[in-house]
Amino acid sequence: MSEAVKIKLSKKDLESDQDVRWCPGCGDYAILATVQRTLATLSVRRENTVFVSGIGCSSRFPYYMNTYGFHTIHGRAPAVASGLKITRPDLDVWVVTGDGDGLSIGGNHMLHALRRNMDLKILLFNNQIYGLTKGQYSPTSALGTRAASTPTGSVDHPVNPISFALGAGATFIARAADTDAKLMAAVLEQAYRHKGAVFIELLQNCPVFNDGVWEAVKDDPAGKQIILAEGKPLLFAGGTKGIRLGAGMVPEIVEVGEGPGKVPQTDLLVHSERGSRNYAHLLAELVHPAFPMPMGVLYREDKPTYDGLANAQMAEARQKQGPGDLEKLMLSGMVWEVGADGTRH
Amino acid sequence: MAETKNLDRVVIRFVGDSGDGMQLTGTEFAKAAAEAGNDISTFPDFPAEIRAPAGSLFGVSGFQLHFSSSDIYTPGDAPDVLVAMNPAALKTNIKDLVDAGTLIVNTGTFIDANLKKAGYAQNPLESGDLEKRYKVHLIDISHLTSAALDGTSLSTKEKGRAKNFFALGLVFWMYGRDPESEIRRIHQQFAKKPEFGEANVKVFKAGYHYGETAEVFQTVYKVPPANFAPGMYRNITGNEAAALGLVVGAHLSGKPMFFSGYPITPASAILHSLARYKNFGCMTFQAEDEIAAMGAAIGAAYGGSVAVTASSGPGIALKGEAIGLAVMTELPVIIVNVQRGGPSTGLPTKTEQSDLFQAIYGRNGEAPLPVIAAKSPGDCFYCAVEATRIAIKYMVPVILLSDGYIANGSEPWPLPNLSSLPRFDVTHRTDPKDYFVYERDPKTLARQWVVPGTPGLEHRIGGIEKDALTGNISYDPMNHEKQVHVRAEKIERVAQDIGELDLRGEESGDVLVIGWGGTFGALRQATDGLRARGKRVSHAHVRWLSPMEPGLARVIKNFKHVMVAELNLGQLRAILRATFLVDAIGLNKVQGQPFKVREVELAIENLLGADAPLPEGVTQTRSANA
């Protein structure tokens, strides 16, 4: 990541020569454009940047980035990316996945990549539906979702991606909407600078199979989003409403201000990215429609990464034992010599 | 005073509860035999349970050792000496002991509860039947062990654990082995718990002196050293050899090695070995599952490492889709399958060769890849080096087949001269001019290995069909046709790079025995024996199963009979019949046990006109024309 010479890049430098093949109106276009623009702003070295993906609409992403890219198989992107990052800690490795790819078929790999604090930047496009296979409900679809495979409504409860990432042990957790280029760019920039497992949930619209699923959140940003800011109270609705912690740590929406029925700002929860995990879990549980959705960086901590620790062990072994001597290695264990006269020594 | 008698060879089997330390006893006695200059071959045979219920039939653990003053290929068909530590061990093994063989029994465990667990209505030691067939030595090893430890601070349970060292001491005396070196080894092994080391030495000595003084053994046996060619030797198991071969293979390529695996019997020992080789540039990764292990290996290969994963059949099944990705993206990965009995969980600790079809065909789509099979513990080393060389040269995943028998079995192995092994250094392309992702080497058809971090060569790969030149996504019908053919052709071209067929005997004759993998020892010994008796029998042992070895085409039609011997229901036979249109018959066995030499001999003799019944469970198929 440390570049001696700053390279000047434009968004165009990050675009590959391939035609983008998502459906018209797909939220992925906006995400692609923001990622390209942000990486250009950050002057990343294209040759040291790798995008790894699984299967699904979002996983076509690497083809459109003029960096190194690997479109792998369903759910396995975190595993492939881990093998790459462990052996090539010099590279910036991004993982692009979706709610089905990352939390259903690849849920196990996601869990372990986050748990290990592998230095991967994971972007999970959450549209609450399987798009590429033509509209089946996904592990983030709301209970009762009517889709191709659930004509009478789904009967399984959805997973909350942020809660999952927190529980697994991600060290940088954020959320942004596909259409909010400014916030997404800010989040991506901080993610890029974070050393460790990054998990960003991108609320993404699928205009064909699940159009408008985040509409209520995105079209009323003031009323349905809390834009998180370090050290600032949890406010929304133009600062007229906020989140207070009631008895038993139950979050409640309160009117902010002076007068009857209103509470002063000082009573509200104050955001800290490096707050306790309990606080982060509380934020994760603020879910639409009961609550406005927290957007921005929800949680972060500094913790040794798997790739860092593993490579440190390699360096330590070399330092302590010296570079491996193959002849000696072959002669370890139970060894003997048979002389020219057939006798043993 | 006991007389000393010279023997050419001895097969001894130690059997007891899985907690009795039979593996340790066998391993230590094997070391002593190797140290004394004998050729050896070992066969550990243990249950899948770590500590099966004491005294149960299924909890019996065994270790067979064949030691000899002449060349041997197998751990022996039947034991000449059986050391049985409890009734269950006696019950499950006595049928294998040769007539007039030596039987040593720990009588201290023949109590009602154990007899009942073993299904004995009466104590078999009291009927006198055993004495009619065998040289029986009844010794209360349990009691003698605890007596030897009288006055120590060990608990009764801890004392009981030392009894395998009594048995070891006794056989050391019987075969005139040097007790001093064993005493040193025990002290070394228990350096961290010296009180146990001390106790084990005491019991070991008690066993040794018991043999000397009790005058129950009239004879001490001596198996003189074998004639080994001059050079350095090492006692080695197949898994140890595979690990060494992988390290050396990576070294010869000039690349760092990455190994990812998930714990599975009987392959885990490869991971354990490599995890200790960090200063050789081996990075090991215990993945969350088999799929992740294969995925991580692909990621590492993409990044420019020699990437390896190892597993057994069930794990290879899980890796299947990801192996297909390596085929599609044409990345070098070495995949080791230490085969065990299947299907499903099958027989985790037992051997079988039933994953050949899985290796060659076990993926969706047309997904061919090279498959190599090791024939002995030491050969695992060379096959690992070969697999690495071919994977890199042809940019392709390679499957290396081993099996539980050679993975856990050991043999004296002449150490290779490392400097004589040819290097196959890798150079990654850095020139951005006119780079096409799927442009191929005209001779090998390999695409170039370009790694991330190279400026100007940024490109994208993936599992979707690729344009034959640019590597961009392509759904063009003729492009797919072309790519499927070229991937197959690439594997066929590996044939130009593999050695001569391992053929013992003439290129024509009455019977051609064809085998592959770990059955080598039994097949070679059986065919050598028959050849020595003037029979027109040859043995071809196939190393590369995909592509098929070219040498086979030359000889396979020159024999009256072709018999394919394998520990499955005829997988190689089916492939050979389809490939060569020969009426090959099969010799097959699926008991989790290796072939016995005698079984193979009988089957060949039948083809030569005899009409001998084969042992139960061993099947010889008939000619399709018969």
Cβ contacts of A18 on chain B, cutoff 8 Å: 460, 472-473
Q: Which domains does chain A have, with CATH numbers?
A: 1-219+304-345 (3.40.50.970), 223-272+281-291 (no CATH)
Q: Residue A326: which of B233, B248, B296 has the nearest Cβ? A: B248
What's residue B615's pLDDT?
Answer: 87
pLDDT, mean of residues A46-54: 98
Question: B462 and A71: CB-CB below 8 Å?
Answer: yes
What's residue B9's pLDDT?
Answer: 94
Residue B171 sits at the vertex; the CA angle it makes with B170 and B172, to the nearest 5 degrees, is: 90
Distance from CA of B16 to the nearest CA of A (A): 26
Q: Tell me: pLDDT of A1 over 60.
A: no
Q: By the CB < 8 Å criterion, does A46 face chain B?
A: yes
Q: By the CB < 8 Å criterion, does A69 face chain B?
A: yes
Q: Residue B233: which of A45, A324, A336 has the nearest Cβ? A: A336
Cβ-defined contacts of A208-213 (< 8 Å, 24+): A208/A23, A208/A26, A208/A131, A208/A135, A209/A129, A209/A130, A209/A131, A209/A134, A209/A135, A209/A147, A210/A127, A210/A128, A210/A129, A210/A131, A210/A135, A213/A127, A213/A128, A213/A129
Distance (Å, whole) CA B404 – CA B518:
9
Torsion of CA B354, B360, B361, B363, to 10 degrees: 100
**CA-based end-to-end distance of chain A:** 55
Strand, helix or coil for residue B82: strand
**Residues composing chain B:** 626
State how far the alpha carbon of B394 is from the alpha carbons of B198, B361, B451, B480, in Å: 55, 19, 16, 20
Cα of A330 vs its chain's centroid, Å: 45
What's residue B218's pLDDT?
Answer: 80
Q: By the CB < 8 Å criterion, does A19 face chain B?
A: no
B-proximal residues of A, 89-118, CB under 8 Å: 90-91, 108-109, 111-112
Q: Residue B458: which of A66, A111, A311 has the nearest Cβ? A: A66
- Of the candidates A79, A150, A90, A145, which has an alpha carbon nearest to the alpha carbon of residue A118? A79
What's residue B48's pLDDT?
Answer: 84
Residue numbers in chain B where pLDDT is lower than 70: 1, 625-626
What's residue B219's pLDDT?
Answer: 83
Evaluate whether B240 touches B24 at the Cβ level (below 8 Å). Answer: no
* Mean pLDDT (chain A, rounded): 95
Neighbours of A185 (CB within 10 A): 17
**B573-606 per-residue burial string, b: 16 or more CB within 10 A, e: under 16:** bbbbbeeeebebbbbbbbbbbbbbbbbbbbbbbb
Residue B549 sits at the vertex; the CA angle it makes with B547 and B550, to the nearest 5 degrees, is: 110
Q: Tell me: pLDDT of A162 over 60.
A: yes
Please report which confidence band the pLDDT of residue A220 belongs to, taking 50, 70 and 90 as the band edges: confident
Tokens of B158: 């801890």
Alpha helices in B395-546 (DSSP H): 404-408, 477-493, 520-532
Q: Are strands A293-300 and A225-227 parallel, antiparallel or unpaired?
A: parallel
What's residue B625's pLDDT?
Answer: 66
Phi and psi, residue A60, nearest 5°: -75, -10
What's residue A6's pLDDT?
Answer: 65
- Global pTM? 0.94
Share of chain A above pLDDT 70, in %: 98
Question: A87 and B37: CB-CB below 8 Å?
Answer: no
Interface test with B, best of A15, A68, A71, A311 (most B CBs within 10 A): A68
Please report which confidence band the pLDDT of residue A2 belongs to, taking 50, 70 and 90 as the band edges: very low
Question: B300 and A340: CB-CB below 8 Å?
Answer: no
Angle between helices B290-302 and A107-115 (to 10 degrees): 70
Question: How many pairs of residues across A and B have Cβ atoms under 8 Å apart?
Answer: 210
Evaluate whether B103 touches B124 at the Cβ level (below 8 Å). Answer: no
Distance (Å, whole) CA A185 – CA A147:
33
Distance (Å, whole) CA B145 – CA B209:
12
State how far the alpha carbon of B261 is from the alpha carbons of A160, B158, B264, in Å: 30, 35, 9
Distance from CA of A184 to the nearest CA of B (A): 25
Distance from CA of B426 to the nearest CA of A (A): 17
- ipTM of the modeled complex: 0.97
Q: Which domains does chain B have, with CATH numbers?
A: 3-222 (3.40.920.10), 234-420 (3.40.50.970), 502-620 (3.40.50.920)
Amino acid in position B296: A
Residue A31 sits at the vertex; the CA angle it makes with A27 and A37, to the nearest 5 degrees, is: 145
Q: Tell me: pLDDT of A3 over 60.
A: no
**Residues composing chain A:** 345
Phi and psi, residue A34, nearest 5°: -70, -40
Distance (Å, whole) CA A113 – CA B177:
53
Interface test with A, best of B279, B309, B415, B464 (most A CBs within 10 A): B279
Helix, strand, coil percentages (3-state) for chain B, rounded to 5, are: 40, 20, 40
Q: SS3 sequence, B104-116?
A: EEEHHHCCHHHHH
pLDDT tens for A225-242 read 999 999 999 999 999 999
Q: Tell me: pLDDT of A8 over 90.
A: no
Question: B230 and A342: CB-CB below 8 Å?
Answer: yes
- Of the candidates B560, B564, B555, which has an alpha carbon nearest to the alpha carbon of residue B507? B555
